[in-house]
Amino acid sequence: MDQIFLMMEKEHTKHSIDRSNKAISIQGLYKSFGPLDVLKGVDLDVYKGENVVVLGKSGTGKSVLIKILVGLLKPDKGIVNVLGKQIDQLTQKELDALRLHIGFSFQSSALYDSMNVRQNLEFPLTMNIKNLSKKEIDESVEEVLDAVGLIDKMYQMPSDLSGGQRKRIGIARTLILKPQIMLYDEPTSGLDPITCYEINELINEVQVKYNTTSIIITHDLTCAKETADRVAMLLDGVFVRTGSFEEVFKDQDERIQSFYKYNFID
């Protein structure tokens, strides 16, 4: 493997993966939009405590996949189980309850521009958990800001933050409800290399500190290399290869090699 990755190995000794416990299980998933077939029989299991990176080019259905996982889109066919619940069989009330255990880190960070950082973090907490004391709210806000390294930005507006800081606050807002599952949609998109490295480190720190199970959607190979316990390569609507980063990119499938060379050209 190229030297660019030699110092970027993900450490596997700081967290445990329970391979007897499937946090997410996807079987035979199909999704089309009119004549466009996006997902064509997707199968994937994600185990408790595991970071799985879903790699693929733009427009290959990566974001469609995680929208199905949180019930924003319905599958045309197939079974999708999240924390033991079949998503498309849930009532709206049951789906809302399940979503409290899933943190969704949007590509855009999705912060409210009219609220300062503290208010952005308080909002999901007070909307979903009633009768919290001021002390409990304060402790929760301070904990997640400390976790993302931005305790000093508590009263700043989103417009005053850098792109990387907004990403961190977006992650903090998902963490405040202590989710069991984290879904990251292009977490390093639009960021400079140093900030990308910091976000990748944060994803790993969240996994260890909060014992999260994560799916990380990206086309960024450095992000995949640094954060993945396992990589799943999505091409032509199916996962053509899963395994460690090295296992996936040792595959001589021309589509996989083309993806690698497109991202990293020696």
Please indicate, yes or no, whether residues 24 and 95 belong to a single structural domain of this protein: yes
Please indicate, yes or no, whether residues 94 and 124 belong to a single structural domain of this protein: no
pLDDT digits (tens, 9 = 90+) for 14-73: 578 999 999 999 999 999 999 999 999 999 999 999 999 999 887 788 989 999 999 999
- Say which CATH number the domain at 38 has: 3.40.50.300
Domain hosting 57: range is 1-101+180-200+210-266
Domain-located, residue 192: yes
Please spell the DSSP secondary structure of the chain, one letter per residue.
--GGGTT-PPP-SSS--EEEEEEEEEEEEEEEETTEEEEEEEEEEEEET-EEEEE--TTSSHHHHHHHHTTSS--SEEEEEETTEEGGG--HHHHHHHHTTEEEE-TT----TTS-HHHHHHHHHHHHSTT--HHHHHHHHHHHHHHTT-GGGTT--GGGS-HHHHHHHHHHHHHTT--SEEEEESTTTT--HHHHHHHHHHHHHHHHHH--EEEEEES-HHHHHHH-SEEEEEETTEEEEEE-HHHHHH---HHHHHHHHHH---
Domain-located, residue 32: yes
Domain-located, residue 14: yes
Please indicate, yes or no, whether residues 232 and 146 belong to a single structural domain of this protein: no
Please indicate, yes or no, whether residues 64 and 14 belong to a single structural domain of this protein: yes
pLDDT digits (tens, 9 = 90+) for 101-120: 999 887 777 889 999 999 99
Rounded mean pLDDT, 3-8: 40
Domain count, the chain: 2
Domain-located, residue 59: yes
Please indicate, yes or no, whether residues 20 and 70 belong to a single structural domain of this protein: yes
pLDDT at 19: 93
